[in-house]
Amino acid sequence: MAGIYIHIPFCKQACTYCDFHFSTSQQLRKPLIEALNKEILLRKHEVNEPIKSIYFGGGSPSILDKGEFESIAKTLETSFDLSELEEFTLESNPDDHSLEKLKLWEENGVNRLSIGIQSFIDRDLELMNRAHSSSEALACVQNARNAGFKKLTIDLIFGIPGQSMNEWQDNVEKALALNTEHLSAYALTIEPKTALAHQVAKGLVIEKNDEEVEAEYRFLHEAMDKAGFEHYEISNYAISGSRAVHNASYWSGEPYLGIGPAAHSFDGKKTRRWNVSNNALYIKAIRENQHFSSDEVLTKRERTNEQIMTGLRTIEGIPKTLLSFSEIRLPNHLIDAISQTKERVSIKPENWMMADSIIQEFFKE
């Protein structure tokens, strides 16, 4: 079954580290929502099977008002077979968890919230220019529970400049105390052309070194394991039965349809497609029935390397049949980082910080 990704490219303010496609200007919201709904109608014929998952990402999809959200949800409902829908995820910000918004999402089929907390420390949130406060970060999960949501995941960021190890440990403890079923944690990356990259270049912010970041990652891995969470993908932890359905489809190579500016699609075989990363051009192209996307047909080697890359990000790893060699030979400093059976090979979760170096060794030339 297929998945659907909806990209909402609007935010209240710009996080300093973010390089995703978004806009803080709200002027084009109405025409963009209209174009997004039209794209759904234009492309519904591309999916001839029941939909397994829907994911609203961004940007900040929780910024949508009642009319905007309901219009997209209704278009999806009338365009696709949702009879076997397992997961409908909405990325939400803690400051958007009003009773009115939570009720809106629940009534329109959302059954899982991915909450962008990032940190429970106000200093960190100010550094990253997040729109919420630490008090909102602590309250948002209970607000969602009170509204009836039973599937929740939260995001944390480690490697934040100026944050001590004790503060990181306290962040992890606060996250565990919220009793969510899932947690995603990402190392802060200094992306080119972001506000954070500018601050680092000017010496206004001091980036943490690799040893500090790895120590935080290892603490997180051990704390989550002790709490009974499965570390099933580099950045993801879940209690039994609570893995992310939609994201797992990316790693396993299932087909998905990407709707909205900058959204990507994959047919499950060898063709990738991505929409133009410009709101005004996207709207114009949709209105005028012009091309608004580009395509790429992967070679067999490229597709195999993708399967190796995404598979080795997971606890299951990859089947050895993907490899072009029968015996695995890695540099001595990497060999202890993997596990292998007769049929499969994987990276040990505690060594996933070295994943990029390891994965390159498995690529087909």
Domains with residue ranges and CATH for the chain? 2-251 (3.20.20.70), 300-362 (no CATH)
CB count in 10 Å sphere of residue 126: 12
Identify the pLDDT of residue 6.
98
Cα 278 from Cα 209, distance rounded (Å): 35
Listing from the earlier edge strand, what are the strands of the sheet with 344-347? 318-319, 344-347, 338-340
Cα 137 from Cα 155, distance rounded (Å): 11
Cα 76 from Cα 114, distance rounded (Å): 20
CB count in 10 Å sphere of residue 285: 19
Pairing assessment for the beta strands 236-238 and 182-187 based on DSSP bridges: antiparallel
Q: Are the CB atoms for 3 and 53 separated by under 8 Å?
A: yes
Identify the pLDDT of residue 335.
87
Identify the pLDDT of residue 1.
65
Nearest to 261 by CA among 285, 226, 229, 245: 285
Cα 86 from Cα 13, distance rounded (Å): 32
Count of residues in the chain: 365
The two three-digit tokens of residue 228, written as one number: 């009974």
Cα 171 from Cα 118, distance rounded (Å): 9
Which segments of the chain does DSSP mark as H helices, in order?
Answer: 29-43, 66-79, 99-107, 122-127, 134-146, 165-177, 195-201, 210-226, 245-252, 279-287, 300-311, 332-335, 355-362
Q: What is the pTM of this model?
A: 0.95
Q: Are the CB atoms for 138 and 174 separated by under 8 Å?
A: yes
Each residue's pLDDT, cut to its tens digit, for the chain (365 residues) gives: 689 999 999 999 999 999 898 999 999 999 999 999 999 999 999 999 999 999 999 999 999 999 999 999 999 999 999 999 999 999 999 999 999 999 999 999 999 999 999 999 999 999 999 999 999 999 999 999 999 999 999 999 999 999 999 999 999 999 999 999 999 999 999 999 899 999 999 999 999 999 999 999 999 999 999 999 999 999 999 999 999 999 999 999 999 999 999 999 999 999 999 999 999 999 999 999 999 999 999 999 999 999 999 999 999 999 999 987 777 888 888 888 999 999 999 999 999 998 998 998 888 66
pLDDT tens figures, 152-185: 999 999 999 999 999 999 999 999 999 999 999 9
Residues with Cβ within 8 Å of 260's Cβ and at least 6 positions away in sequence, in order, are 6, 7, 8, 9, 32, 36, 39, 275, 282
Identify the pLDDT of residue 365.
67
SS3 assignment, position 152: strand
SS3 assignment, position 88: strand
Q: What is the DSSP string of 276-334?
A: -S-HHHHHHHHHTT---EEEEEPPHHHHHHHHHHHHTTBTT-EEGGGSS-SS----HHH
The gap from C-alpha 333 to its chain's centroid, in whole angstroms, comes to 30
Q: CA-CA distances (angstroms) from residue 328 to 96, 325, 361? A: 49, 7, 9
